[in-house]
């Protein structure tokens, strides 16, 4: 009975660890975690917590870790709960007690908040570039058929004649607003939370303004409790992504309808359609169908984040 109890406790501990582990998701934050860690090391040097040699050793070790991660040569352990603990564990293994000194004046709370903000700043720009590319493609198609008429529909019934180019430019306007939303969300999340600690700030004399400037943040957080608890910016980015996904879903639905034999407005290129296993003459709009289906995921993620924020 005692042996069984010990085995049960071990299995329970392992199950809890697997449940709490987020490494498979947050590993993509590693460039930002290392970048913020280097900045924190420099701030600790200026605050007198690290001397020049110690700071240089930590920065070199962080650079080595980043190179290994870039090359997919970094050795993760089963005990690594997230990317932050994995980097910290590796740093301590390389430098001994010196690696642990990087924890001074920093909590996992402000560390994660900073990493996530840096990641989303880049992500908003990356998505923005994709939206610009989408609108450029819409312009190319609209300009190629400026006089092509088509029926405009209300209630899925033919209503008034419109130009196909005019219809496409309606989506141009939607995606233009989507781009604005991403850029606006980015401007509001451009705030550095480092120096907030777990919730009440830190007692070391960190130059928070300099840290923000070195990391490319436009401002420093004004309240430590808000800085570590704020996830408004995540919800804002997800909202912008959800609206964009809805617009993509609308366009995909129209492409699906327009390409049917009943409508016959467009013919999809082979690159964006597939045949049938028993009817090779078919041109199935699989890409548009997948876009329409996957768009709902973002709406679900937004709902989950809002629910989590409400429960804090």
Cite the active site residues: 155, 276
Tokens 């180019």 locate to 165
User: Is residue 6 classed exposed, middle or buried when 0-12, 13-18 and 19+ CB atoms within 10 A define those classes?
Assistant: exposed
Euclidean distance between CA atoms 239 and 301, whole angstroms: 9
Q: What is the dihedral of CA 132, 135, 141, 142, to 10 degrees?
A: -140
CB 86 within 8 A of CB 76: yes
- Phi then psi for 34, rounded to 5 degrees? -70, -40
* Residue bearing tokens 């679900």: 300
CA-closest candidate to residue 118, choices 204, 49, 218 = 218
First to last CA, the chain: 40
Using only C-alpha atoms, the chain has a radius of gyration, in whole angstroms, of 26
Separation of alpha carbons 312 and 108, rounded Å: 17
CA 201 to chain centre: 27
Q: Distance between CA atoms of 142 and 134, rounded to whole angstroms?
A: 12
| Run of H or E residues at 157 | strand 157-163
Can you tell me the distance from the alpha carbon of 208 to that of 39, in angstroms, rounded to the nearest whole number? Answer: 10
Strands 157-163, 149-154: pairing kind: antiparallel
Instruction: Please count the other Cβ atoms lying within 10 Å of the Cβ belonging to residue 280.
Output: 7
- Hey, is 47 helix, strand or coil? coil
């Amino acid at each position: 009975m005692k042996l069984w109890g010990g085995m049960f406790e071990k299995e329970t501990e392992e199950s809890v660890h697997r449940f709490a582990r987020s490494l498979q998701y947050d590993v993509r934050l590693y460039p930002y975690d290392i970048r913020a860690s280097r900045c924190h090391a420099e701030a600790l040097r200026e605050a007198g917590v690290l001397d020049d040699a110690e700071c240089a050793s930590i920065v070199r070790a962080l650079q080595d870790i980043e190179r290994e991660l870039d090359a997919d040569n970094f050795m993760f352990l089963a005990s690594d709960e997230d990317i932050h603990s994995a980097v910290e564990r590796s740093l301590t293994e390389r430098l001994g007690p010196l690696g642990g000194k990087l924890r001074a004046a920093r909590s996992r709370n402000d560390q994660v908040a900073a990493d996530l903000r840096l990641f989303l700043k880049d992500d908003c720009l990356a998505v923005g570039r994709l939206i610009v590319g989408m609108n450029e493609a819409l312009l190319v198609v609209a300009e190629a058929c400026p006089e092509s008429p088509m029926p405009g529909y209300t209630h899925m019934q033919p209503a008034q004649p419109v130009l196909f180019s005019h219809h496409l430019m309606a989506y141009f306007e939607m995606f233009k607003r989507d781009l604005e939303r991403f850029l606006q969300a980015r401007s509001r999340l451009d705030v550095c939370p480092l120096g907030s600690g777990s919730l009440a700030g830190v007692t070391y004399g960190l130059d928070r303004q300099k840290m923000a400037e070195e990391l490319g943040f436009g401002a420093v957080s004004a309240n430590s409790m808000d800085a570590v608890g704020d996830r408004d910016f995540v919800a804002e980015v997800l909202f912008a992504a959800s609206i964009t996904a809805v617009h993509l879903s609308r366009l995909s639905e129209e492409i699906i309808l327009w390409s049917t034999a009943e409508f016959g407005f467009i013919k999809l290129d082979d690159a964006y359609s597939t045949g049938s296993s028993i009817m090779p003459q078919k041109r199935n709009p699989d890409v548009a169908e997948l876009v329409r289906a996957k768009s709902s995921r973002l709406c679900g993620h937004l709902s989950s984040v809002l629910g989590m924020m409400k429960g804090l």
